[in-house]
Amino acid sequence: MILLSTLLLLFLVTTFKFAQSQPPLASCDGFYGCISSLRQSDCAPGEVLISGASLDGCCPGCRGGQGYMQVCNVNVPNRRCAPGLKCDRKCLYDQTTCLHTIHMKEEEEWAGWYPRCNVDGTYASRQCRGDRLSGRCFCYSEDGRRLFGWDWYKNAATMTCACSRRRAKLEAEGRTTVTLHCTQNGNFEELQCDSGVCWCADEYGGDPLIGTTVVHDGLWKLLPCYNATLHGDSYLRQCESAAFAQKTIQKRFATRGTIGVTFNAVRCDYDGTYGAYKIENGVVYCTWRDGKKIGSFQVRSSMVSSVNCNCARDTQIFQEAGIPFTLSCGGNGNYEYLQDQNGQLFCVDGDGYVVSTDVRPTESCDKFIYNSEFYDEE
């Protein structure tokens, strides 16, 4: 204990020194006056709300420029594209920033849904669909990919998706054995273990709760948030244990020099349950949280990068919630973009929400879906 606190003190002292030696930032200190309630809807048509657009770059503000498909020139100040667009003789969607979706909204034929953006150009972590009664919210990454984590719209007020985002980030950095546990809505579970240590976590941000300590993972049962009924004897859940065992075997094969032994990796979700699909003998199957196959959804494994099984999983989620499920899934378990109900055609997107009710039989739904190939201009 004494050693630990000495170490902690040392750590604090070093970080403090480090912080002191940093050059002062070109300063927005003393700026407390940003209008934090400024919204995109407060901007004039064609203008986009971005961070650092007003008061010497210290506050968010609205900024305009040439609109979508207008002629542009990066060297002429009043010929530059508006935020969210990039200049290639004409202003085109800059899909590296969420802000491009704001210009889609201004397109006349655009009827679809577009995601919410943060003023820094990243995607908002929580993206909500449908109405407040039966709609749902999903966790999204900063760059606009759907992540693990969802809740009904009416329950989503405290949903931060911070755990889902943390895990996604760590995995993107190359860590293959992250064991943070997220709740169904993408927040942090109360008890966390990762990288050999355990702690009682703040649900919304994941930091250790004030007044609790971080312990070596062998001591996890001593944590005040440990509950024997709930957590039992093992922090890792069934799927995680299976995945862990597989990785150990793989490692053993690798050290013996056996290569070419391919495993179909056990995929787990961020709550420790089984992932949305598994691969067996060259076939991808949609699976439920317990690892069992859902229906007969399947596709050959070369197609795996396009599989999300969102529709297959939703059939089960809606059934459990007692809500009739009326949409059709593709054979691979994804949502079929073009839906047909008694001859009435409409389009849904990958999350299963209607994006257009005005579609002709020969028309593709892609142009109503913000992240579809239709909008990849290059």
Ligand X SMILES: *[C@@H]1O[C@H](CO)[C@@H](O)[C@H](O)[C@H]1NC(C)=O
Chain residues that interact with ligand X, rule: CB under 6 A: 227, 229-230
Please say whether the beta carbons of 354 and 150 come within 8 A. no
The residues that bridge with 242 in the sheet, in sequence order, are none
Measured CA to CA, the distance from residue 83 to residue 93 in angstroms comes to: 10
Count CB neighbours of 87 within 10 A.
Answer: 19
Our CB check for ligand X shows the closer of 37 and 229 to be 229
SS3 16: helix
The residues that bridge with 284 in the sheet, in sequence order, are 279, 299
- Who's near 1: CB < 8 A, 6+ residues apart? none
Our CB check for ligand X shows the closer of 230 and 245 to be 230
Our CB check for ligand X shows the closer of 15 and 227 to be 227
Which token pair is 75? 């060297």
Our CB check for ligand X shows the closer of 225 and 242 to be 225
Q: What is the DSSP letter of 76?
A: S
Measured CA to CA, the distance from residue 253 to residue 72 in angstroms comes to: 57
Our CB check for ligand X shows the closer of 13 and 230 to be 230
CB of 358 to ligand X, least distance (A): 48
Q: Which of 195, 149, 191 is nearest to 170 (CA)?
A: 195
Q: Which residue is nearest to ligand X (CB)?
A: 227
Q: Which of 136, 140, 95 is nearest to 116 (CA)?
A: 140
CB of 227 to ligand X, least distance (A): 4
CB of 225 to ligand X, least distance (A): 9
- Who's near 312: CB < 8 A, 6+ residues apart? 276, 286, 294, 295, 297, 329, 333
Which token pair is 6? 């000495």
Our CB check for ligand X shows the closer of 124 and 209 to be 209
Our CB check for ligand X shows the closer of 94 and 190 to be 190
CB of 230 to ligand X, least distance (A): 4
CB of 185 to ligand X, least distance (A): 17
CB of 211 to ligand X, least distance (A): 17
SS3 99: coil
CB of 229 to ligand X, least distance (A): 4
